[in-house]
Structure 1
Amino acid sequence: MKTQKIKKRNILFTDHTPWGWDLNCHLILGNQYNYIIDTGLGSLSTAPIKDFIKDDNKPMIVINTHYHWDHIWGNGSFENCTIISHKLCREMIESNWEDMMKTSQQFIRGDTTQCLPNMTFENELYFPEDQIRIMYTPGHTVDSISVLDEAEKVLHVGDNVGDSLEQLIPSLKVEKEVYMNTLLKYRELDFDTCVSGHNIILDKSVIEKIINMI
């Protein structure tokens, strides 16, 4: 797994999986909390993150950007932590868990157990002490959320940006108009660095590129 320092308090953990695609988990070292955005494929995805902050005693907040298995299978590594998602995400993890386990279990890395988000929201959450804003941004899925580090101007968009430079528009489970509204929301945010679930680190210009492509 590759560990990359994006900025002073933003660290990206990229798993170059055996199946030919990359998977990003994102750590933000806050003042009051450490924030872990997505937990990957199981305990082997989360182990490098836990090791990285093993001497940091701040409580952890886990954020699931959406319900898909490659973003939530490591939740069990943080069963005693606050796990945040959109309210739809919790419902969709619970209702789709068995099917995801049956159809995609070959992708599990280490151990996985169902560990549902224990804090949900509808529109937005804000942690002022850390300048972390969590927003509902449907697109790739109806439950998709994004995380803005206002202090370092880093936006994590989950899978709302496609998996490669050649395919910047993701598969969409909402109407294009809904996704466009999310892109326009991104355009108004103050950030210069864009992190997503599978792509390389990009800058804000990627949002305008996607808008023009649509």
Structure 2
Amino acid sequence: MTVDVSLTSYPGLDDRITVIRAGDEVDAVFVSTERFNVLVDTLGTPSLCRRALELLADRMRDRPLIVVNSHMDWDHFWGNRAVGGAPIIAHQSAIDRLRDPSALQTLEQKRTTEPRFDEVELVPPTLTFSGESMTLHGGDLSLHLLHTPGHTPDHLAVWIPEIETCLAVDAVEHPIPEVWSSAPDDLRSLRSSLDLIRSLNPKQLVLAHGQTSDHAVLDRNIAYFENIQEAVALVPASELMSAALAQREGMRLKDFVDLPAGMSFGAREFYERCHRSNLAATIAARGAS
């Protein structure tokens, strides 16, 4: 599989922000401040990250580079090896994810399917913080790293108040985000993270997946989880554990969201799986209430 890297933007997005697009795989973001540059995520391989840095060379202006790993999903941090000695910041819970055997298992599985992952090493963050937030003061811009768990335990979004812009990464996704597990606490965390981002009232919203800055995606994500909860509440308890529940009319993904026109079969299958995970978490939350 060949993935091309390009630089792009959205209408109205501040020119100090550059979207780095790795094909259909993921978007990372580059932010230029008076004091330093910030790279939010390093893409899925060191080669992709190196290519991104080459394209960004004329925007670096000899300022030091700071890297933020939004979370330890492979497509967001496997390029870490390419940033050399630049500090890499993440939430403390990212270290727990890296220590879990599943992190290396995922890499080994990926290597069996695509040779491009042979160069990947699991390079950990060099700086972590605990709690709800950390702020990078860039002079003209401040980047507030907000712990927004739910999609993953370690997930960060980035709020830049001076330009009312939120880099939501995977907390907001088009067409839907996916909850970390079926544990009720994870679902509550994701919905709280969505509410937190909405409370910021961002004028610009930048996602890592979906290739859109449509502000309405946030409201649609929130409505999606509200509607699933309402639908699950109407299902008799004896039918909640049916394996076919997600295929029942009124419970299918397409009953809750309008899927993008031209979505590939693979992408549709992926989001169907996300929907089944979200449905299972909603059922578990009902049982725990």
TM class by shorter chain equals 0.7 to 0.9
**After superposition, what is the alpha-carbon deviation per residue over 1:61-108, rounded to whole angstroms, capped at 9, x for unaligned?**
111111111111100111301101110112212334321211122454
Higher strand share: 1
Aligned 1:90-101 pairs, distance under 5 A: 90-95=95-100, 96-101=102-107
Asked whether the equivalents of residues 24 and 196 of structure 1 are also in contact (C-alpha less than 8 Å), the reply is: yes
What is aligned with 1:59? 64
Unmatched tracts of structure 1, length 5 or more: none
Higher RCO, Cα 8 Å, sep 6+: 1
User: Quick check: 1:103 aligned with 2:106?
Assistant: no
What is aligned with 1:4? 8
Unmatched tracts of structure 2, length 5 or more: 226-289
- 1:110 Cα offset (Å): 7.5
**After superposition, what is the alpha-carbon deviation per residue over 1:106-151, rounded to whole angstroms, capped at 9, x for unaligned?**
4545732222101111221112323111010002111111011223
Point out the more displaced range, 123-132 or 200-209.
200-209
Partners of 2:37 and 2:204 in 1: CA distance: 19
| Letter of the structure 2 residue corresponding to residue 146 of structure 1 | A
- 1:171 Cα offset (Å): 4.0
| Superposition TM-score, scaled by structure 1 size | 0.87
What is aligned with 1:118? 126
- 1:212 Cα offset (Å): 1.5
Aligned 1:38-187 pairs, distance under 5 A: 38-55=41-58, 56-95=61-100, 96-105=102-111, 106-107=113-114, 108=116, 111-122=119-130, 123-128=132-137, 129=139, 130-162=141-173, 164=174, 167-173=175-181, 175-187=186-198
| Letter of the structure 1 residue corresponding to residue 158 of structure 2 | V
Percent identity between the aligned chains? 19
| Letter of the structure 2 residue corresponding to residue 103 of structure 1 | Q
Name the CA shift for 1:48/1:150 in 2 (closer, same or farther; >3 Å).
farther
Partners of 2:152 and 2:143 in 1: CA distance: 22
Higher helix share: 2
Partners of 2:118 and 2:26 in 1: CA distance: 15
Q: Secondary structure at the match of 1:203?
A: coil
Name the CA shift for 1:71/1:196 in 2 (closer, same or farther; >3 Å).
same
Partners of 2:76 and 2:25 in 1: CA distance: 12
Q: State the structure with more CA Rg.
A: 2
Point out the more displaced range, 135-144 or 121-130.
121-130
| Superposition TM-score, scaled by structure 2 size | 0.66
